[in-house]
Amino acid sequence: MKFTIYGSGCSKCKQLTTNAEDAANAKGLQYEVEKVTDTNAIIDAGIMRTPALAIDGEIVIEGKVANADEIQKLLA
């Protein structure tokens, strides 16, 4: 499983990364995290608001910091 975090690297982006890792760990899943901070790459991905989270290439959260429980539901 691959998490892609889109954003500038701000505190909200870091919190979203932590929450995604916590969600995967709670389910016992193996994962890798990729962080995309380049503005052009974020725009090319079709993201208008950051932070955003993609799971295996599919954008599932945009413009908010989802908590670990919300992310766990997306992993089900």
20: domain CATH number? 3.40.30.10
Residue given tokens 């974020």 in the structure block: 42
For the question of residue 13 being annotated catalytic, the response is yes
Task: Please pick, among 1, 2, 8, 10, the residue that the annotation labels catalytic.
Answer: 10
Residue 73: C-alpha distances to residues 9, 20, 41, 76 (Å): 25, 11, 27, 5
Domain count within the chain: 1
Is residue 17 annotated as a catalytic residue, yes or no?
A: no
User: Which of these is catalytic: 4, 6, 13, 24?
Assistant: 13
Domain assignment of residue 61, given as a range: 2-75
Quote the pTM value: 0.93
Mean pLDDT of 47-61: 96
Average pLDDT over residues 32-48: 96
Q: Is the pLDDT confidence value at 76 over 80?
A: no
Whether 30 shows a pLDDT value over 80: the answer reads: yes
* 66: pLDDT strictly greater than 80: yes
